[in-house]
Amino acid sequence: SATTVSKRGILIVIEGLDRSGKSSQCQRLFDRFQSQGRKVRYVKFPDRSTSTGHMINSYLTGQAQQDDHSIHLIFSANRWEAIKSISLDLLSGIDVIVDRYSFSGAVYSAAKQNPDLSLEWAWSPEIGLLKPDLLFFFDISSADAAKRGGYGAERYEKEEMQSRVRTLFKELFARLDGVAVHQVDASRTMEEVAADVLSIVQGTTEDETLMSSALHKL
C-alpha cells in the first residue's frame, strides 16, 4: 500500500530470581537484535544511575536504612521517571528490552513478610505503567540459583528470601489477568534458554500491535 505506518517497537521484560541468567539473556537478545539491524535499547531496573537509583543502591548495599514502604515507592519511582522515555522510544520503533520491572518490584517487597505490606499494596504503585508486550519469567529453584557461584552480599541475596520471592512471582502471575507470562526453565544451559527466548520472540513480533496498554490492578 502507499501508506506505511511505522511499527511501534516491542516492550520485552525478563523477570526472575537473582542468578537466573536474566542479564546474560537480555544482553544476548540485545546483540541479536542489533546484528539484525533492529533499533533496540536495553534498560535495567533498578537504574542505579539516577538520584532515586543512588538511594536504592545505598539501601541494597547496606549503607542506608529505609522504611519498607518508603523504599518500595522509591523503586517504583525509579520506573515512573523512566517510562516517558521508554514510551517515546517504543513509538519511534525502538524495541526495548527490560531487565526486571514491576513484577520484581511487587514480589521482593512482599517477600519481606512485613504484615503491613501485602502483595496488593506492593502492586498498586505499578498500575498505569506500560504493560509488556512480551513477559518472560526465568524459573529456577533458589537452591539451583545458589549453586551458580553463590549469592552476593546485597540485601535480599539470601536463599530463604529468594525462595519466598519465587513463590510470590508465581502467585502474582497467576493473579494478573491480561498479562501473559512465558515461563522459561532457567536451570538449563545459556544456549538452551536463549533458543527458547528467541523462538518466542520471533513468534511474537509478527502480530505486534500498534496500541500500547497499561498495567492494571490485581
Q: Based on CB atoms, which residue is closest to ligand 2DT, 18 or 95?
A: 18
| Residues in 14-53 that interact with ligand 2DT by CB under 6 A | 18, 45-46
- CB 100 within 8 Å of CB 156: no
76/187 with CB nearer ligand 2DT? 76
CA distances from 183 to 96, 131, 136 (A): 19, 17, 6
Q: Which is nearer to ligand 2DT, 38 or 170 (CB)?
A: 170
Look up cell 533496540; give the residue: 40
Listed in sequence order, the residues at least 6 apart from 50 whose beta carbon sits closer than 8 Å to its beta carbon are: 78, 81, 82
For 4, phi then psi, to 5°, come to: -115, 120
Contact call for residue 139 and Mg ion (CB under 5 A):
no
- The footprint of ligand 2DT on residues 66-125 (CB under 6 A) is 75, 100, 104-105, 108-109
Question: Residues 12-51: x/- map of binding to Mg ion (CB under 5 A)?
Answer: ------x---------------------------------
Dihedral, 139, 54, 214, 16 alpha carbons, nearest 10: 0
Residue 25 binding result from Mg ion, ligand 2DT, none, given CB thresholds of 5 to 8 Å by partner type: none
In whole angstroms, what is the distance from residue 159 CA to residue 206 CA?
Answer: 39
Handedness of CA 106, 108, 114, 119 (dihedral sign): positive
156 binds, among ligand 2DT, Mg ion, none (CB under 5 to 8 A by kind): ligand 2DT
Site residues, ligand 2DT (CB under 6 A): 18, 45-46, 60, 75, 100, 104-105, 108-109, 156
